[in-house]
Amino acid sequence: MEVLSKFLVGPLHSITSKCMVLLVTVLILRALLFPSFPGFDGIEWGNLVCIRTPLLNSDFGIQQDKFLEVPQLVWGLNNQKIAFARACLTARMLNRTLLMPSLSASLFYKEIDLLQPISFDKVFQFEKFNALCRGFVRLGCYSDVLNRTEVLKMEKGSGRRWTVERDLAQLKEHSKGSFDDYEVIRIVGKNPFLWHDHWPVKDYARVFECLDLTEEIAKEADRIVSRIRAVGREVTGNTEAVEVENNIITSDGSSFQPLPFVAVHMRIEIDWMIHCKNLEQRLNTNQICSGKKEIVERVGNIAGLKTPVVVYLAVADKLLNNSSSILDDWEEGFLPFEKKRLGVDGIYKKYPYLIQSAIDYEVCLRADIFVGNSFSTFSSLIALERTQKMIRINVTNMCGENVRWPSYAYNIPGESNGPMRWVTNMSESSLQAISYGTNHISC
């Protein structure tokens, strides 16, 4: 910007030079503001080889030769997952293949050049996604696009007058007629997280189920879960035991239940505390900003929880002023661990923010018990996927006792000042109802 201001205060004698300056300014601004937005050339493709299925084979139920392109997905992992699912569902509505979007590896969202675009397939498995979501939504590669000049730009409206209805009408209009002839529709404007929501919760859940971490990242999550299990074995004295697919086999061949672990998404970082205080004021409630003391107390009161138990504390260390203090004040029988005490911070440090969150997310998903904040989108998505897991194993009374994959919200008091049991209501008609902060948590 230095250069720019010098340019502007310099002597401007003629109209021509004024015009030149204006033109240069526009060009510079454009370069500054849109450095690597996902255009046809802006993305690094890595080693991705697209498997092309014959175009005439339409058993995907989705046009494979018509594409949708969306702006880069930004902010936290949870925002990017929601944005991704919304982009998929938009493409589905237009009966188009979604061009693999670009995610953002860093959390910095104010400065566009710090967004660090990262290709979808560096985080999630591309082919597995298409296999699992076959017939529902489909991802494609930029190399599948035949005619790169034939792009229709579709501007997303904004402002108060751009209502849900207008947004839906625009999508419906673009799904037919002459719009459908364009090989590529490129949506320009806000990132998909900010688009209007037109889809029921179960459609989002269907997309989330198709997202599997890449092998490398999944292996790191495995290492952390194994480490947590190992800590549990040290406590029970079963250090000889080895874990085989969730079953622990001791050296004499007998098997025993592993010590359960509770994952707590401790949302007490500085950024959150500012946000949640404002939210509490606006919504006139005091059930959003649980501090450390309240979290420790509520987790300590989970009904029927047998101790000793390992407690894994999922926090964004970078945003915490003193991460060792979260280990204090736990009651006897509760063995708190964060990344450092577990000795796994080295694993996390290798990766950018987005992947660190993805690993933590996976660990929380696999915990025997999960406790989070119902006003956190990150916690909400974990509760949603755990609810899906329960549905898949046909749990009938998801709020009942002794079920597998239970979740709790520590910001809402439950029985005997424990945390409230939490399942996602899959019948809600929009994701808004469950994911942008709520204390209606269905149990």
Contact indicator for 421, 383 with CB cutoff of 8 Å: no
- Residue 411 makes CB contacts below 8 A (sequence gap 6+) with 287, 288, 289, 290, 373, 374, 375, 439
For residue 273, give the amino acid letter: M
**x-or-dash pattern for ligand NAG, window 259-298, by CB under 6 A?**
---------x-----------------------x------
Residue from the set 325, 349, 415, 417 that interacts with ligand NAG by CB under 6 A? 325
Cβ-Cβ contacts under 8 Å for 335 (sequence gap 6 or more): 231, 235, 308, 309, 310, 311
Q: Which of 170, 238, 301, 425 binds ligand NAG (CB under 6 A)?
A: 425
Sign of CA dihedral 270, 275, 278, 279: negative
Q: CA-CA distance, 141 to 375, in Å (whole number)?
A: 35
Q: Is 428 in the site for ligand NAG (CB under 6 A)?
A: yes
Binding of ligand NAG by 321 (CB under 6 A): yes
Q: Does 322 bind ligand NAG (CB under 6 A)?
A: yes
> What is the dihedral sign for C-alpha 396, 402, 406, 409?
positive
57 binds ligand NAG (CB under 6 A): no
Are the C-beta atoms of 415 and 351 separated by less than 8 Å? no
Please confirm whether the linkage preceding 308 is cis (ω < 30° from 0).
yes
Residue of the chain from 16, 254, 394, 416 that contacts ligand NAG (CB under 6 A): 394
The total of other beta-carbon atoms located within 10 Å of residue 315's CB is 18
Q: Which of residues 84-113 bind ligand NAG (CB under 6 A)?
A: 95
Task: Indicate whether 158 belongs to the interface with ligand NAG (CB under 6 A).
Answer: no
Q: Is 63 in the site for ligand NAG (CB under 6 A)?
A: yes
Q: Of the two residues 326 and 420, which places its CB atom closer to ligand NAG in the complex? A: 326
| Only segment of 2-10, 40-48, 147-155, 185-193 that touches ligand NAG (CB under 6 A) | 147-155
- Report residue 337: phi and psi, to 5°: -135, 135
- Closer to ligand NAG by Cβ: residue 149 or 402: 149
Among 5, 47, 57, 147, binds ligand NAG (CB under 6 A): 147
- Kindly state whether residue 53 participates in binding ligand NAG, applying the rule CB under 6 A: no
Residue 19, helix vs strand vs coil? helix
Does position 427 interact with ligand NAG (CB under 6 A)? The reply is: yes
- Rank residues 36 and 175 by Cβ distance to ligand NAG and give the closer one: 175
> Smallest distance, Å, CB 406 to ligand NAG?
16
Q: Exposed, middle or buried, 2 (CB in 10 Å: 0-12/13-18/19+)?
A: exposed
Of the candidate spans 114-122, 208-216, 324-332, 342-350, the one that interacts with ligand NAG by CB under 6 A turns out to be 324-332
- For residue 432, give both structure tokens: 């808004």
Find the shortest distance in angstroms from Cβ 8 to ligand NAG.
39
Which residues of the chain form contacts with ligand NAG (CB under 6 A)?
A: 58, 61-63, 95, 147, 149-150, 268, 292, 320-322, 324-326, 328, 393-394, 425, 427-428, 442
